[in-house]
Chains A and B, each alone.
Chain A
Amino acid sequence: MKLYVKSFSSYKSDIDKLDVKKELKQTYKQDTRRKDAFIHLAMLGIVKLKDKIDINPMDELYMTSGVGNIDILQRVDEYVNGQGQCIKPFDFINILGNTTSYYVAHAVGLKGKNIFQTSEYFTFIHSLISIYSSISTSKKEAILGSIDLSHEPKEILQRVLDVPTKYELLSSVNYQYLSLESSDALASLEFDIKIYSHDEIKTLLKNITCDVITSPRCINLELQKETYFFENLPSYLINKYIEDNSDLLYIDCFKNKYKILKLTSMKK
């Protein structure tokens, strides 16, 4: 399966030191009321994408996240279970996953298909498979937004991520504008439903000449890993490599089952 990246936007909390809510209000004139940090982050990514490419109202929107909006769950737990108060209507609404994708769509006038989805592992690659499948039928173009919010205390996230505790947990939001058509594309992405064994990955790597980065979960592969983690790390990395006009092979892993994502830059 192959998709072409026509445009992208990225935000990562250790590099982009900005007040997300203030940026949305002042630079992008977005209404930030009744929304929380997770939704603000998702909105920032889409308005940054709109700066770079025209978005058709009927483009399909897919949003994915590792653990979703953990902030809202903790806040509601604190005042409902901790203090015995009643849940507030807008907090209840914000707990629903698709509230985020609604506000993302609303921020840029999208009115088409809008799916908020999560896979336990390989969530970014699985979302690409969903998009490929969907736009092969609809003949439209699609936007994939991947959002992960770091959270304090980090001990909660560490208990649901299956990543060694030495990795710094960051917030990041990354979007790609995706198409089946190669014209004006910045890069192509190749992926599959195929699961590779450890031995198959070792064999595959013998013929790879581009950079290879693996997920921190690939503990049995002695290859380059980043020092930080968020579930949609591959979404950030492909944007970074497109920016650098470079190719990348990303390897993700779940208990010695591997999936690969191949980025080929088209602007070299």
Chain B
Amino acid sequence: MLARPRLLVIIVLGVLLIAAALTPMLGGIYAVKFATRVLVLAIFVVSLDLLIGITGLVSFGHAMFFALGAYALYFISPESEGANALIAFPAAMLLAGLAALAIGSVAVLTRGFYFIMVTLAFGQMLFSLFFDTKIAGGSDGAYIYIKPVISLFGFQLFDLEDRNTFYFVCLALLVAAYLGLLLLVRSPFGRVLQGIHWNEGRLSALGFNTYVYKLMSFVIAAAIAGLAGVLYATIDGFIAPELFGWRQSGIAIMMVVLGGAGTLFGPILGALSFSVLEEILKTEGFVGPIASYWSMALGFILIAAVLGAPRGIAGWLQGQRGDRESSSAPGLLAAPKREGGRGTGKLLETEGLSKVFGGLIAVQDVTLRFAPNQVHGIIGPNGAGKTTLINLLTGAMRSSSGRMRLDGEDMTAWSQHAIAQHGIARSYQRTNIILPFTARENCLIAAQAHHPQALRFSRRRYAAAEEAEAAYALNAVGLDARVDTVASHLSHGEQRQLEIAMLIASGAKLLILDEPLGGMGPEETGRVTALLRDLAANHTVLLVEHDMDAIFAVADTLTVLVEGRLLAHGTPQEIRRNPEVLKAYLGRFGETESAA
């Protein structure tokens, strides 16, 4: 998760802020104009970092919201006087935000490469709309002759015609945008955005509606870009369709990456250094004849930067994320051991459940009843359809036919996150956690998933409860000593335990574990099976496992799947004696063993 900026970073930003505040006194008109432009670009690219670096959405059309903000000033400015900035600026943000809501609702459906191309295409769509039609002067662009003023109740407080006044307004807005985004990113909402960046599937499985989160991130970033756009239009008083162009979006991405994506302050440094670099390369006095081919020179420098320092300027200011950087975790040893009375497990039933892939029937007509507060083992040879069954039960896949009921309620048509919100949580065959987060942060985000108002910006409300749940879960799986360790630094076994801790912290009442013992040593296996027995006190546990000794020891009932069909279901004793099972499954086990 995004750390608080390091002391070095705060010093650098402080020095820059002081330098920025002194610019109007020390520099001439040209310097102020240049610095204003940098500030405006910085606001723009900080908002882009919310998408690229924080949420992991690489938008190649962010300039369209910048441009819409700029055009908003043209639309709102009266002919003969300046617009009131207190109306015009929010209007620009609103226009950009509404456009982002419409465009984002389609764009956010896609991911990865598609998202890049789709945002690029939408940017071009708006470009051609403003270029081909007569709106605001069409391809020629339009002038805004009178700069906006800031007035309240009819009294004019500031006139933005004055360069220095306008400059300080921009500086204040940049500081506000940066601090506002920093707070946002460090809020529970921002925690989810970062989780989506690193492991969207995990967040969806925890019960977050990731579509809504991504769309909100898109809209917020666009509104701030719209603010930057309206400021930009105020600088020169000129707007043109080129503002929408993909070139602008590309340069903004350059600034973000040059400065260091995902740090929020990095892009500010990126905007500054990119602008200075561009200015130097364009000046014949500095670089001689290269000046006429400055964009080629810029291209080569950027390639060197991308290949040589992919983490940008912020990368070597902020350093690597260390373990135990914050040990604000509450006293773990005092974590309350919960009594069994915290609700009971859920009852899960399936009826004629089937899943067909093309010609292959992976799950065929499975009717089962998983009683609450028991450990249910599911066994079967490879390819028996165990994982497919789990995927159906958790909504990761849609069944071809059949029904599923949770505590008697039909859940066949529920989406993955809806099922998760109703208290079903799963672990995966391949460990599925958020690697760049610490163990505690992983559990905190899991705990957040099941709280009322998971989507919230304030930290205070449920923070204590979530911390307690995370601490309880980590304690339960025996990870107390590793609370503040980044998950990617944990051993394989510890990562598997962390995933179980996340399920516990999520408050789910039905846990589905896909081979939780895989890759664990005997000691860890013993601890985890004991944990599963404890969990059954107030959870229903479904367990898929290849470790026969462990599963026969821990399970209350066993279900045997072979080639997608339900072969047998009963207590471990019944299964052990079932001739069909012996023939089809355990028998074959014996054969291969004796053959080897």
A and B: bona fide binding partners: no
- Which A residues are within 8 Å of any B CB, using their own CB? none
